[in-house]
Structure 1
Amino acid sequence: MPSNGKTKKNSKKFDFIVVSNRLPVDRIEGSGDTDRWRRSPGGLVTALAPVMGKSEGAWVGWHGAPDEELKAFTHDGMRLIPVALSAEEVELYYEGFANATLWPLYHDVIAPPEFHRTWWESYRTVNQRFADSVATSAAPGATVWVQDYQLQLVPKYLREARPDLRIGFFNHIPFPPLEIYAQLPWRRTILEGLLGADLIGFQRPNDASNFLRCVRRYVDVTVKQNEIQLDGRSARAEAFPISIDTGQISALAATPEVQQRAKQIRADLGNPKTVLLGVDRLDYTKGIRHRLKAFGELLEEGRLNVGDVTLIQVASPSRERVESYRTLREEVEGTVGRVNGTFDTIEHTAIRYLHHSYPLNEMVALYLAADVMLVTALRDGMNLVAKEYVATRANNDGALVLSEFTGAADQLRQALLVNPHDIDGLKDCIMAAITISPAESARRMRLMRRQILDHDVERWSQEFLQQLRNR
C-alpha cells in the first residue's frame, strides 16, 4: 500500500461522521471467507451509536490490520469506512509519534518523550489520509467529530478541503501546560491543526486553559476567554468531561448472575474481610507501581495482614511492542512476586495479579466483589474505571480511593482523594478506606452516584454536539 495513498471515494454521503484512530469494531477470527465483526467495548461507541441512528451517520477509522485495504461496510446499523495503514505507519505514526512522543508529553513527561522527524512525517501523512477519507464521505454542511490525540492535524486538513463542514474535536487525554508542551518541536503545527475545528473539547477546565495559553504563546491569533478569533471565523475551547453508560453498568450489577459471580470471586480468595481492587491498562501513567509499593509497606508494617486483606490487580496488556511498556511489566511483575513471596500463606495470597482483559460482565462482578477501589493514576484525562465502580454500588457501600490527578476527581469529590506520589499519604488513605464507617461510606457514595447518574455518557455527547451545532 503506498504510504501517501488516499481512501477511495464513497458514493454515499453522510450528515454526521465520527473520526477516530480505530473503528468501533473488532474482527472475529474464524474459518470462513467473510469477515465477521463485533462491536468494541467502550463508552464512545455507546454514546455515539444512537446519534448515528438518528442521522445519516458514518464512522471513519483504521480497522486494526496493517497492509490491508477494506471497502466501507455496515455493522450493527453503523456505516464504517476503513482507513488503511501500512505496517510501517503503525510503527511510526501510532507506536512512535502518537504513543512515544505525544502520550508521555501530554502526561506530564512521566516517561521521557522521543522526538523523531520520521515519526512526525508519518503522523502528518496518516492524518492527511484520514482527512481525505472524511472529505470524500461527508455531505454538504455535515457535522464531523474528530476524536483524540492521534488525529490532531485532521481538523485543519479537513477545513482546507471542506470549509462547509462543521468540525468538532475532543481530546480524551490531558493537555499539558505550556512549560511542558513547549518541548514539542512541531508545537505550532499541532495547535494550528486543532484550530481547524469549530469546537475543541477537553476533559478538565485546566486542559482547556493549558491549550489556550499555548495558542496565545505560539499562534498569531486573538484569544478572548475561551474563544479564538481566526480569519473569518472563531473556534472555542471548553471542558466536556466524559462519562460512562451508567444505566448499562447499573443494570449488569443488578443481575443475579453477576452478583453470584461476585460472591464466588470473594470465596475463591478465601473470603477475606476486605478486598482491594485496581483495574488499569498496564501503563506507566496509572500509578500501579506506587499502589503496589504502598500495599507492600502496609503489610511490612503490620497495619494489614494477608488473610484479612487481598489486593486484586487487573493490568490489561497495552502497547507491548513499546520498550517502556515492556520494562513496566517486568517491574510490576517483579514487585508482585516479591510481595507475594514474602507475605503469602498456604491459604491466602497477598496480591492476585491478572494480566488479562475481561468482558464487561466479569469487570462488574469484580467491582461488586471489591470493598475498596484503588485508582492511583499519576495523570489521567478522566479514568472511567472510577465511575464504573461507583455505578455498581446500588447499596451505597464501598469506598473509592482516587488520585487527585485524574479528571474524575473533579466530579467525584466525595472520593478519598490522594496524591499517589506521597506513599505515606497513600498508605493512610488506603487504611481510611478500609476502616471507613458504613454511614460515612453511604454518604459519600450516594453523592457520587447522583453525579454519575445525572451526567452519563449520552449527556456528554449531547452537550458537545449541541454546542458544536450552535457554532
Structure 2
Amino acid sequence: MTSARKTFDLVVVANRLPVDKQLDEDGNVDWQRSPGGLVTAMESVMRANPGAWVGWSGDAGEAPAPFYEDGMHLRPVGLNAEEIRDFYEGFSNDTLWPIYHDVIVPASFHREWWAAYERVNRRFAEAVAVEAAPGARVWVQDYQLQLVPALVRELRPDVRIGWFNHIPWPPVELFAQLPWRARILEGLLGADFLGFQRQSDARNFVRACRQLLGLKTKGDRVALADGSGRRIRAAAIPISIDYMGLEALAKRPDVMERAKEIRESLGDPKVLMLGVDRLDYTKGIRHRLKAYEELLHERHIGPPDVTLVQVATPSRERVEAYRYLREEVEQTVGRINGELGQIGAPAVHYLHHSYPREEMAALFQAADVMLVTPLRDGMNLVAKEYVTCRHDLGGALVLSEFTGAWHELHQAFTCNPHDIEGLKQTMLRAISTPTRDKQRIMRALRRRVADHDVQRWARRYLAALDAAPDLPAPDPRGPSAAAPVAPPESAPLAPNATGPADGEPVTASTSVSE
C-alpha cells in the first residue's frame, strides 16, 4: 500500500525558484542559491515556516521533478522557449512592467502574449493545488502571477490565499490602458488578502476595482458582486531584508578586509560613490550619470579624489528597451572617462555583472556615498542593505523619494532624480555633511531597518492573511491543517484599519535585488 503524498501547510508561489541550475565539468546538475531580491527576502521566511516553493527553474523545456534543496521542497514549473518569450519577456516585462512603472518606456500589447500569460498562470495554479495541504496558506508573489489567486480558488476553495506585489501598483489612469485590465483585477480578487509596498499602491488597486469593475469598496475592502459575499482586503505591508544575517556577514573580518582592498585597488580616493542596480530603465542610472558628469565638468569633484563605481547587473537582455539602455549607459560611461578621467584614475568604474553577497557587503562598506536614485521603485532593498552593512556608522545614503524605501528611510539625503540640479546638490551635501551628523543619520536609518526586518514583514503579512475578512469555505475533507503563525512583534493591523498615509511611519515592514 503506497503512503499518501506529502503536502504542505505553506506554499510560496513565485515566477522563479530560489535556486539556479548549474552543471559541473562532468555534466552533473547542481542547484545554487539565486541572487535575486525576492529570494534574499524569502529565504529566511521559509526557514522559519517550512513549506513548498513553486516556481520556474529558469530553463526552457520540461520541468524537473520536485526535489529538496537546503531543507526546502521545490516544485519546478516548466516553460518552453515560446512561453519564455511571450509570458516572461513579453507580457510580464514589456507590457505589465512599463505600465506599473509609470510608462517610463511605452508598453506593448499583444494578444498572443496575453494568451501565454493565462496559460502559464494556470500551470502555476495547478502545481499549487497539488502541493497545498488541506486548509493551507498559499502566498503568491508579484506581477507575473496575477491570475493565480482566482485559479487556485477554483481548484482549491479550502485554502487561504494571499498575494504580494513587489513593484508599484499604478494609478487607475495608467492601469486602464491594459486591454485585459478586468481579467487581471478578477484574478487578484481570488485572494483573501492583497499586500502592497505602499499605502498609495493599495489605494490605487481599490480605486481600480471601483472604477473599472464597478465594485463597492469601503476603506481597504473590496466587496465582490458575485453573490458570494466575499470581501478582499488590500493594505500596505512593505518588505524588508534579513538584517541580522546581513549584519553578521558584514562584520566578518574577511569582508571588512575586502572593503579595504577595494578602496586601495581604486587608488584610495577621498570619496568613493557607489551605485548598485539591475540594469533597468526604472533605476535612474542615466539621470545619476548625467548629474555626476555635470559635477565633474563644473569641477566640484573629480578623480582621483572622487570616483564612482557603478554595478549594473545584467537584466532582461532580450527585451529591446533593455538592450538600448545598456548601449546608452555604456556609451555615457565611455564619454565620461574619455573626457574627464585621468590615466590610472577613471571617473567611473563600470561593472556589468553580478557579485556574491560577500563582495556586495564589502562594496557597501567601502562606499562613502550610496546612490539609490530610481525613477520609480516598489521598495529598493539596496538602500536597506547598504544601511545594514554600515555597522561602523560610516557612509551616506542618497535616496530617491520615488522608492518605497524612502517612506521608511526618510532621514536619508533625499532627492528627486528627475531634477538633475537638485540631484547634484544632494550628492554634494552627502559628501560635505560633517561626519558626526552623518553618523547620527546612519544610526537612525539602521535602527529603522533593524526594527522592521524581513522576519517581521513575514509575520505581519501572514497574520494579516489569517485575519483577513471572510474565511474560505470549510475543507470538505476535514479540518484545516494550517500551522499556526508565530505572534507578530506588535499587533497586526486592526480589521478596520486602513494603514498609514504615505510619508508617515509604517506599522510593518528584494539586493541588487529588485
- The one-letter code matched in structure 1 to 2:204 is N
Please report how far the alpha carbon of residue 70 of structure 1 lies from its aligned counterpart in structure 2 after TM superposition: 1.3
User: Which residue does the alignment assign to 1:438?
Assistant: 435
Q: How many residues align?
A: 462
Contact 1:152-1:190 within 8 A present in 2 as well: yes
The alignment yields a C-alpha RMSD, in angstroms, of 1.4
Q: Distance in 2 between matches of 1:330 and 1:164?
A: 50
Please report how far the alpha carbon of residue 250 of structure 1 lies from its aligned counterpart in structure 2 after TM superposition: 1.0
User: Which residue does the alignment assign to 1:357?
Assistant: 354
Q: Distance in 1 between matches of 2:346 and 2:27?
A: 46
The alignment's TM-score, normalised by the length of structure 2, stands at 0.88
User: Which residue does the alignment assign to 1:388?
Assistant: 385
- 1:269-321 residue CA offsets vs partner (Å, 9 max, x unmatched): 11111000000000000000000000000010111121110000000100011
- The one-letter code matched in structure 1 to 2:130 is T
Please report how far the alpha carbon of residue 57 of structure 1 lies from its aligned counterpart in structure 2 after TM superposition: 1.2
Secondary structure, in 3 states, of the residue corresponding to 2:58? coil
Contact 2:274-2:367 within 8 A present in 1 as well: yes
Please report how far the alpha carbon of residue 221 of structure 1 lies from its aligned counterpart in structure 2 after TM superposition: 2.2
Q: Which has the higher contact order (CA 8 A, sep 6+)?
A: 2
Q: Distance in 1 between matches of 2:71 and 2:161?
A: 23
User: Which residue does the alignment assign to 2:339?
Assistant: 342
Q: Distance in 1 between matches of 2:20 and 2:107?
A: 30
1:13 is the counterpart of 2:7? yes
- 1:398-427 residue CA offsets vs partner (Å, 9 max, x unmatched): 111100000000000100111000000000
Over the matched positions of the two proteins, sequence identity in percent amounts to: 60
User: Which residue does the alignment assign to 2:169?
Assistant: 175
User: Which residue does the alignment assign to 2:450?
Assistant: 453
Contact 1:43-1:457 within 8 A present in 2 as well: no
Please, which of 126, 133, 145 is the counterpart of residue 132 of structure 1? 126
The alignment's TM-score, normalised by the length of structure 1, stands at 0.96
Identify if the C-alpha distance between structure 1 residues 52 and 271 changes in structure 2 by more than 3 Å, giving closer, same or farther: closer
Please report how far the alpha carbon of residue 161 of structure 1 lies from its aligned counterpart in structure 2 after TM superposition: 1.4
Please, which of 67, 70, 73 is the counterpart of residue 73 of structure 1? 67
Q: Distance in 2 between matches of 1:416 and 1:31?
A: 48
- The one-letter code matched in structure 2 to 1:170 is F
Q: Distance in 2 between matches of 1:54 and 1:445?
A: 29
Of residues 246-255 and 113-122 in structure 1, the stretch that sits farther from structure 2 once superposed is 246-255
- 1:165-196 residue CA offsets vs partner (Å, 9 max, x unmatched): 10000000000001111111111110111111
- The one-letter code matched in structure 2 to 1:314 is V
Contact 2:372-2:398 within 8 A present in 1 as well: yes
Q: Distance in 2 between matches of 1:370 and 1:50?
A: 27
1:92-103 matches, within 5 Å, as 92-103=86-97
User: Which residue does the alignment assign to 1:302?
Assistant: 299
Q: Distance in 1 between matches of 2:45 and 2:310?
A: 36
User: Which residue does the alignment assign to 2:247?
Assistant: 250
Please, which of 411, 419, 423 is the counterpart of residue 422 of structure 1? 419
Please report how far the alpha carbon of residue 218 of structure 1 lies from its aligned counterpart in structure 2 after TM superposition: 1.2
Please, which of 398, 405, 410 is the counterpart of residue 407 of structure 2? 410
Q: Distance in 1 between matches of 2:449 and 2:297?
A: 37
Q: Distance in 2 between matches of 1:47 and 1:102?
A: 23
User: Which residue does the alignment assign to 1:266?
Assistant: 263
- The one-letter code matched in structure 1 to 2:412 is A
Q: Distance in 1 between matches of 2:241 and 2:298?
A: 38
Identify if the C-alpha distance between structure 1 residues 348 and 425 changes in structure 2 by more than 3 Å, giving closer, same or farther: same
Contact 1:181-1:187 within 8 A present in 2 as well: yes
Contact 2:50-2:72 within 8 A present in 1 as well: no
Question: Gapped runs of 5+ residues in structure 2?
Answer: 469-514
1:163 is the counterpart of 2:157? yes
Secondary structure, in 3 states, of the residue corresponding to 2:300? coil
1:185 is the counterpart of 2:182? no
Contact 2:57-2:63 within 8 A present in 1 as well: no
Identify if the C-alpha distance between structure 1 residues 52 and 380 changes in structure 2 by more than 3 Å, giving closer, same or farther: closer
1:106 is the counterpart of 2:103? no
Q: Distance in 2 between matches of 1:356 and 1:347?
A: 22
Q: Distance in 2 between matches of 1:241 and 1:250?
A: 20
Secondary structure, in 3 states, of the residue corresponding to 2:430? helix
- The one-letter code matched in structure 2 to 1:441 is K
Q: Distance in 2 between matches of 1:14 and 1:262?
A: 42
Please report how far the alpha carbon of residue 347 of structure 1 lies from its aligned counterpart in structure 2 after TM superposition: 2.9
